[in-house]
Amino acid sequence: MISEQLNLPKTIVHEIVSEDLALRKICAKLVPKVLTDAQKEHRVEVWKELKELCTDDPSFLDNVITGDGSWYAPIYRTGLYSSSKNYPEAVLKLEVAVMYWNTLDRRYRSTTYPQDPED
């Protein structure tokens, strides 16, 4: 096995192969992921919208923050909607913590969304 040859845990090898290399197992073979026609069309539509936004407002790209999924972390806060133990899904409020690089002062910043009105 690959993990034994490289002396790495199976979980690390699986992460590298599936996420970093974007391969998946089909019939005992690793093949690249292929986008469907609908996914390709969606990407073209998004590109056209972004191009139009950039054309209409040249400063649009100054407000764009990029990053991968590792930059986002869910934060669960209890007791905000209900204190009932019968409805645990109503007890949790999901927020997303976002860390980003601020190009103006050249340092990392973070915030959470959605923000409470009091903040």
Task: Read off the pLDDT of residues 18-60 as tens digits, 9 standing for 90 and up.
Answer: 887 777 766 666 666 777 888 888 888 888 888 888 888 878 7
**20-24, 88-92, 103-107: least confidently modelled range:** 88-92
* Complete DSSP assignment for the chain: -HHHHHT--HHHHHHIIIIIS-EEEETTEEEE----HHHHHHHHHHHHHHHHHHHH-TTGGGG-----GGGEEEEEE-SSS---TT-HHHH-EEEEEEEEEETTTTEEEEEEESPPTT-
pTM of the predicted structure, to 2 decimals: 0.31
pLDDT value at 100 more than 60 = no
Average pLDDT, the chain: 66
Average pLDDT over residues 55-69: 70
Percent of the chain with pLDDT strictly greater than 90:
0
